[in-house]
Structure 1
């Protein structure tokens, strides 16, 4: 069977994401340092990373962020990701299921994630403009525990065949009101501003994934797919994950904040948690490891990250995750980030 244009695009996204992956590339997490206090007065054995996120109990604040699905090749990646999430007991989101809404024959490239992770937390994923019927189909496809609705206006603008209608807010409110699963609204790499957070909260959103700049750059990826590649000026457009966390740090208490975008190692996870994130998502690093290493090696890496987070918490004197935001006075900001903080005041 010939591959559809939509499936080919899914394969292109994976190939280009890997081609432009630079795991050691600087980002705004490097603009935030942690003051070292040489007497942390902690014991690693006492550290707990247990947390409650909405209706769920997590043993770690990490989750595997949305990546792929929609073609034969990406379905194989989802199969592996399901096994890895199950082994590490990490929640996982699938890539956008919109392609399988249009072509139901592609549904198995997504549902395999649930098949290989039958008891774990699995989040579905659709664009914010999709209908209630499509959202229910996406949830049923994965027996999903929640549904991510992604905001990707920048990606769509650069995508040669992208959407041009971005009237999403009323539809988000409709989906939040009528779905029987939690709805997580997420950006795909361009960040969330304070006004956007306030609009979404007013629309009923109680789970917000900031999806900041610093990791996979979909403006760059889609520009490479343009015949003239003329929109290079949107490379690095948007708010970083650090800037987004600072922008929403006065959010309502019943709004859960997920932070993803540019998470390269456990120290970035710690900083995100100290900046107020409730949970931290990782995608690019995992995809890179997945493409170059065995499942067991990826599992070993993520298991190590979970342990290293406990070590880092001990280093800053935090015995439980709820201690970390209260230790934000240990954070030292570069002049660039300090100026941004002042602009928010």
Structure 2
């Protein structure tokens, strides 16, 4: 008889394998990434001293040393436990925060706890985020937080993934009330995160009403869980959902005003390929930027030392891009001029936002 551990383990291993394959396919071909619709206006005399730049950013009541984090990925099997070990080592050595993958497997089978606890074991002093879905009870969320002594809890919302997943949920009507209960009951900050289909202003407004103060918009363009789950279906009959959702740049533009009004901190992820994408997201209002697929690909292909080197290089380059842009702090990036074009500009206009306003922030 198939055990709970085997069911979860097989699914989690599939997710990692398919995510890496997806990243390699994307890297081998020419695929539109809407971060390329956001370009900085170069000011030849804006540059400042590198020593004047601070990468510190405040998230969840804590100062992070850099506006970059390893976002939620995996856990729940022997293999994914080793992936988490490598990610945790990289987080420890570079000082960036790290979020766990969904901890549903542990909540269903406590024997899988070590595959998640390794995130804290290998990173005892780092900022570590637990992860549950919106079905989790208060008790389940507290168990997830306690397992890894988490500094915050990430609640992932993933209706499209669940619908495509053969064994996924089919009722999401209780999610808002459950999110509100978790936000009220937990002693750690709550972050609500999409899984790659984007989060626009209506969702951010509703989260604020529920008492949530941090949202990761996690847009389309990175790991595509509709495609991953469709590959697990016998007839792969949901292929038409591969382009569902909004990109992170589109969501940030859509959300920035309401987030400011309602006191919601925006995080961004989804399709982040390079340090320039991080700085683009920060310039559109993100407080910090998460990376999953690219970092996983480096870890799986080249090992933990290569991932440590990659993250360290990204941090240096984020600082150097801020030097060129004349932005001494992360909040100063939202004062820079950016040209928003292509599909992101079209999205903005259709949503009643003038993309030209972003081109005139530093130069009225």
Which TM bucket (shorter chain)?
A: over 0.9
Matched, 1:178 2:185: yes
Can you list the C-alpha shifts for 1:171-224, whole angstroms capped at 9, x where unaligned? Answer: 110110111111100000000011111111101110101111010000000000
What does residue 300 of structure 1 align with? 309
Aligned pairs for 1:116-155 (under 5 A) are 116-155=122-161
The answer (yes or no) to whether the contact 2:199–2:251 under 8 Å persists in 1 is yes
Superposed, which structure 2 residues align to 1:225-236 within 5 Å?
225-236=232-243
TM-score by length of 2: 0.92
Please give the alpha-carbon distance, in whole angstroms, between the structure 2 residues aligned to 1:82 and 1:98. 19
Indicate the residue corresponding to 2:15 in structure 1.
13
Tell me, in whole angstroms, the C-alpha distance in 2 between the residues paired with 1:227 and 1:335: 36
C-alpha distance in structure 2 between counterparts of 1:93 and 1:276, whole Å: 21
1:99 paired with 2:79, answer no
Give the C-alpha shift of residue 342 in structure 1: 1.5
Asked if 1 retains the 8 angstrom alpha-carbon contact of 2:205 and 2:259, the reply is: no
* Residue 273 (structure 2) pairs with residue 264 (structure 1): yes
1:332 match? 339
Per the TM alignment, residue 251 of structure 1 is displaced from its structure 2 partner at its CA by: 2.5
In 1, the alpha carbon distance for the partners of 2:106 and 2:210 equals 27
Secondary structure of residue in 1 paired with 2:129? strand
**Residue of structure 1 in register with 2:218 after alignment:** 211
- Between the aligned partners of 1:268 and 1:16, the Cα distance in structure 2 is 23
- Correspondent of 1:27 among 33, 48, 52: 33
CA contact (8 A) 1:151 1:188 kept: yes
Alpha carbons of structure 1 residues 23 and 283: separation in structure 2 relative to 1, 3 Å: farther
Which runs of 5 or more residues in structure 2 are unaligned?
A: 353-364
Q: Which residue of 2 aligns with 1:283?
A: 292
Quote the residue 1:37 is aligned against.
43
1:72-130 C-alpha deviation (Å, 9 max, x unpaired)? 00001111111110000000001000111001000110001100000000000000111
Deviations 1:29-67 (A, max 9, x none): 011111111112311221111122231111100000000
Q: Give the SS at the match of 1:250.
A: helix
The Cα of 1:335 is off from its aligned counterpart by 3.8
Deviation at residue 333 of structure 1 after TM alignment: 1.6
Which stretches of structure 1, 4 residues or more, deviate above 4 A after TM superposition? none
Describe the SS at the equivalent of 2:13: helix
- Show the counterpart of 2:355: none
Q: Which residue of 1 aligns with 2:358?
A: none
Contact conserved, 2:47 with 2:325, CA < 8 A, in 1?
Answer: no
* Cα shift at 1:23: 4.0
Query: Given the alignment of the two structures, is residue 59 of structure 1 paired with residue 61 of structure 2, yes or no?
Result: no
Quick one: distance in 1 between partners of 2:259 and 2:304? 39
2:82 corresponds to = 76
What's the CA shift string for 1:137-187, capped at 9, x where partnerless?
101111111110000000000001101111200011011011111110000
- The answer as to whether partners of 1:173 and 1:205 remain within 8 angstroms in 2 is yes
Query: 1:297 Cα shift?
Result: 1.4
Please give the alpha-carbon distance, in whole angstroms, between the structure 1 residues aligned to 2:97 and 2:109.
26
Kindly report the root-mean-square deviation, in angstroms, between the aligned alpha carbons of the 2 structures. 1.3
Give the conservation status (yes or no) of the 8 Å contact 1:33–1:332. Answer: yes
- Aligned in 2, Cα 1:244/1:252: closer, same or farther, shift over 3 Å? closer
Q: Is 2:345 the counterpart of 1:343?
A: no
Contact 1:23–1:264 (CA under 8 A) maintained in structure 2? no
Secondary structure of 1:12's match? helix
Contact 1:158–1:219 (CA<8 Å) still a contact in 2? Answer: yes
